[in-house]
Structure 1
Amino acid sequence: MTTTVAAYAAPAAKAPLERTTIERREVGEFDVLIDIKFAGICHSDIHQAREGWGEAIFPMVPGHEIAGVVSEVGSGVTKYRAGDRVGVGCMVDSCRECENCEAGLEQYCLKGNVGTYNALDKSGEPTYGGYSEKIVVDEAFVVRIPDGLALDVAAPLLCAGITTYSPLKHWNAGPGKKVAVLGFGGLGHMGVKIAHALGAEVTVLSQSLRKKDDGLRLGADHYYATSDPKTFDELRGSFDLILSTVSAPLDLDAFLSLLRTDGAFVNVGAPEEPVALNLFSVIGGRKTLAGSGIGGIRETQEMLDFCAEHGLGSEIELIDAAEINVAYERVLSSDVRYRFVIDTATI
């Protein structure tokens, strides 16, 4: 039998989210039923609820930064049992057969992974995310939250943490490397924490110096304002890696000039509008312009274990569910330090 649970949903594109109920499927043989305790608010939620990235499925229950406790498992589940502290990130299934899935890169499933929300599952039913009381997920797409991480500060790691950890690891951020994190918000602050813990020399590139003290406190060695033209003169040719967490169009040519020879500019922020590029900006210096999504399930677990080992939780502002619409507006005006997290007991 399905289970009726309370949730917050956007009934249509750009409409305010409102309290409603949704149906969760019955717990199957390999399923895990999770009592959601906390759900982070990601800028991706806003993009999708407002159809900034294209046509979406409504009603939409956003939320792919989910932390909770297992309350029931299917008869075939071997990884989890009732009472375990677990998380669910941006995907809840994939084909599991293609070369990427077999390599642990389910996020790049060649047939397309199934998003935690705003997607259709293998039965053709829409998926609903973490702004809700409970969720049912196949055990293969559930990760364990280590005891060293509180659930509220762990929730944003399921997107913001893995979205920054994956490219930092892939492009070998570590001792001897100069890494710049462009944008100091929900993703950027975790990028700084993780890059610092990996041993890199970390610079924040932000529009202003308003958050400089926070940046230095969280692990940055340097902090520059991109609104100051002198920044681009002073830092020309400085970085091995620039991790861009910005979801607005950028002057890519200007930022590419800050890379060393063979440096990489990696986008994890996804603007709604196309961006322009002069190809000479990458030809000169053999530079790489790249993008990165989330990580696979194995890498997400690795990230959580790494964060627990180094004491890295997200900097959060805990809110009641009734404050979601206000929180969305505050995210758009950069008025959050640094991740809103919904206390789902208030739904």
Structure 2
Amino acid sequence: MVYDDRSVKPMSASLMRAKIATRLLAGLYEDVPTLMTSAVRLMVEMPGSSRQAGPPYPFTFAVSPAWCSGIEGARLVGSRKLDIVWLNPSVIATMAYLGKGPFRRSSPLRALAVFPSWDRLVVAVSGKLGIRSMEELKEKRPALRVSVADNDCVNFAIRALLKVHGLKLESFTEWGGAVEPVVRPSNPRRREGIISGEIDVVIDEGMDSWGQVALDHGMVFLPFSEKALAKLERYGFQRAPLAGGRLKGNIPESTVVVDFSGWPIIMHASLPDELAYHMAAVLDRLREEIPYDSAQVPPMSSLCRSTEDGPLNIPLHPGAERYYREHGYL
């Protein structure tokens, strides 16, 4: 089957339907997110099942936070069960590309772009406990009510973080406490528990959702030891200061934790260059119209290179890189 772009009108029936369908999808996400948030996959299909050499190209683009934006998403792209995935955070893409951490072998991943999203993985404790380090927490073994993340983006990181400190989630129940998992860091029960003082410890990322509330209500963010950070770096993580970010308050400069920034859009290396090139072009055209997890609209040059808020440590897809270079962004 041969396709010719000249036969496609500026607003043909297929383009009209595609535009309406994607706006309906976005509208549902805005109005009733609980119906959509764990199930969104955009798909371009062709008659038959075989891939062809030229356009149009069949592909899948998954954007679901709870389903495939973490470890599983990187694995699905690496195995070509999905073509394009939006990951959170950037370090997952790095680990998958290098074959580090939870990935036993390297995956042929490439980046279309990386979106800014400043974040940290932290352990916050009630100031009333008088605990100021992970080592002191382990030594005192207090009975605590712990709010902890439970999703594919962060589960592996929390396990690794606790392990390098000689702990595990079960440690808190063994000490006589309770662990309350939440899928999203913005869970209202967590926020209410921080304000009321019923929650003693929070282990999570998503600082914009709960970090400032915790700081305002006397919680203390524990620094990670040099020994623990070195182990985490060998695993594939990067250290980062907590101070100087989005939280406003008294945070010691010595509070060094784990970086959890960046939302990279990744794709399989075998995806056609032409498709990646034009996706980068569309992103460029829409850049000032789309939402960001940042105070300002980022320049296009920051979406195709590593920044503090959007680390990028895997190669760009050759098609996307060609677009960025041709237009002076690299």
Is TM (by shorter chain) over 0.5? Answer: no
Larger Rg: 2
Q: Which has the higher strand share?
A: 1
